[in-house]
Amino acid sequence: MNILVCDDEKDIVDAIEIYLRNEGYTVYKAYNGAEALSVFEEKEIQLLIIDIMMPVMDGIRVTTKIREKYNIPILMLSAKSEDTDKIIGLNLGADDYVTKPFNPLELLARVKSLLRRYLALGSFVPQTGIFKTGSLIIDDNSKEVKVDGEPVKLTPAEYKILKLLGENAGKVFSIDQIYEHIWNEQSFSAENTVAVHIRRIREKIEINPKEPKYLRVVWGIGYKIEKI
């Protein structure tokens, strides 16, 4: 699980990182709101821990921006004097808060609780129709695909296959399942048809199609999009 910790106090970020890593989480760090939003463009984040008061862009503005695209849990850090901002943050979409100075064990307990609810609701993909893994982004609202910020042109069938795999990142689909999902029928030529489309998609989204980063084959079973 990827957790982003954002606070302008480096010591606090480093301390939180140690506790989270000891629990097996992958931690990314940012020291202001703008840096936090940049991390979201590059990484798949499952939970955000963010301070309310920061330079450049504060935690409330970041929460507003994040909620435009993502439904991940957001845990706010606040000083006791920031009760009004804390309430505003919760109203704008934050899920919980911890008051500084905080007990690291309490912070971990809240993180685990938020992630349990997140996973139980099946919320790994944003409800806005935007699916992201690594630097591959599939925007089903505009039917656009981007890799490293660059647009990728796909045929309708290629787009449907990529969307199917992307919105179910990590799940393996057999060739027959892919064919039936996309063409709504069974076919004796499913293997050749799907293989050709997969090859073309790889040529468009992978830096090296022979060593794919995103669209992977699971030999003898099918294909999947990797969670990165």
Distance CA 29, CA 45 (A): 11
Average pLDDT, the chain: 87
pTM exceeding the 0.75 threshold for the entire prediction: no
Q: What percent of the chain has pLDDT over 90?
A: 45
The predicted structure's pLDDT at residue 183: 83
2-120: CATH topology: Rossmann fold (3.40.50)
Least confident of 111-115, 118-122, 170-174: 118-122
Q: Which residues pair with 223 in a beta bridge?
A: 173, 217
The predicted structure's pLDDT at residue 169: 86
pLDDT band, very low/low/confident/very high, at 12 (cuts 50, 70, 90): very high
196: Cβ contacts below 8 Å, ≥ 6 apart: none
Q: Which CATH architecture has domain 130-225?
A: Orthogonal Bundle (1.10)
User: Which residue would you say has higher pLDDT here, 6 or 124?
Assistant: 6
pLDDT band, very low/low/confident/very high, at 126 (cuts 50, 70, 90): very low
Residue ranges matching CATH 1.10.10.10 in the chain: 130-225
The tens digit of pLDDT for each residue in 51-101 reads 998 888 988 899 988 888 787 889 999 876 666 766 777 777 788 888 888
The predicted structure's pLDDT at residue 123: 47
User: Which residue would you say has higher pLDDT here, 105 or 188?
Assistant: 105
Answer yes or no: is pLDDT of 194 > 80.
yes
The predicted structure's pLDDT at residue 81: 63
Annotate the chain with DSSP letters as a single string. -EEEEE-S-HHHHHHHHHHHHHTT-EEEEESSHHHHHHHHHHS--SEEEEESS-SSS-HHHHHHHHHTT----EEEEEEGGGHHHHHHHHHHT--EEEEES--HHHHHHHHHHHHHHHHHTT-SS-TTSEEEETTEEEETTTTEEEETTEEE---HHHHHHHHHHHTTTT--B-HHHHHHHHHSS--TTHHHHHHHHHHHHHHHH-SSTTS-SSEEEETTTEEEEPP-
